[in-house]
Each structure stands twice: as C-alpha cells, then as structure tokens.
C-alpha cells in the first residue's frame, strides 16, 4: 500500500510536539503499509473520508481517503477536541482533491 499526504496533513504532523505520539502515529501508518491494507481503529465519516483513531495523547485522528488497498491519502490530522471541525475540513479537502484530479 502506498501512503501519500497532503500539505495540510504534513504541516499538522510537523507541528506536533509530542515525540511519543508522533512515533505511535508513524507505527500505525507503517502497519498499514506492511499489511497492504488499512488496519486499526477506523470508521467512515462520509463523503469518501475515513477516520483512523490513534489511542495516545489527546486521542489523535487521521482523516484519509483510500483507493482500495493500493493507496491511502492522508488528508488532515487532529485530535478529539477538534474532531467535528477536522471532519468538515477533511470532507472539503477531499472534494477539492477529487475535483482537481490530484487524487489520480
């Protein structure tokens, strides 16, 4: 499984201060890469966007789009406290990504 990320996700991840949480997020993503499919605590949130919950710190969430088991596009990250705002933003970004064709 190939994993790509938007600039929005990359900025969010770069700004995380907690090294342990960053490591746990990376481990969760590496598990997906190795398994060749999305694994872990995931659920759909609508409009082709899924939420992966990382049970560390304030309850981190990664919002992503998936193309079967071939591609996982990390759209945005957040935590439990910003969940609703992040879901809305992830859906908006997903719509733009599809419209622009940068998802191909």
* β pairing state of 60-67 and 41-46: unpaired
Rounded to two decimals, the pTM is 0.92
> What's the Rg (C-alpha) of the chain?
13
Residue 45 to residue 63: CA distance in whole angstroms: 9
Residue span of the structural domain in which 86 resides: 2-100
Tens of pLDDT along the chain (104 residues)?
889 999 999 999 999 999 999 999 999 999 999 998 888 999 999 999 999 999 999 999 999 998 877 778 899 999 999 999 999 999 999 999 888 887 66
Residue with tokens 């919002």: 63
Round to whole Å and give the CA distance between 21 and 13: 10
Domain count, the chain: 1
Q: CATH code at 15?
A: 3.30.2310.20
pLDDT at 103: 65
């Amino acid at each position: 499984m190939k994993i790509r990320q938007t600039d929005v996700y990359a900025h969010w991840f770069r700004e995380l201060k907690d090294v342990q949480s960053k490591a746990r997020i990376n481990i969760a993503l590496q598990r997906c890469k190795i398994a060749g499919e999305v694994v872990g605590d995931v659920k759909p949130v609508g409009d082709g966007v899924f939420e992966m919950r990382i049970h560390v710190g304030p309850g981190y969430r990664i919002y992503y789009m998936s193309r079967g088991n071939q591609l996982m596009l990390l759209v945005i990250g957040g935590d439990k406290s910003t969940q609703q705002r992040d879901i809305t933003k992830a859906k908006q970004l997903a719509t733009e990504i599809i419209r622009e064709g940068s998802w191909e």
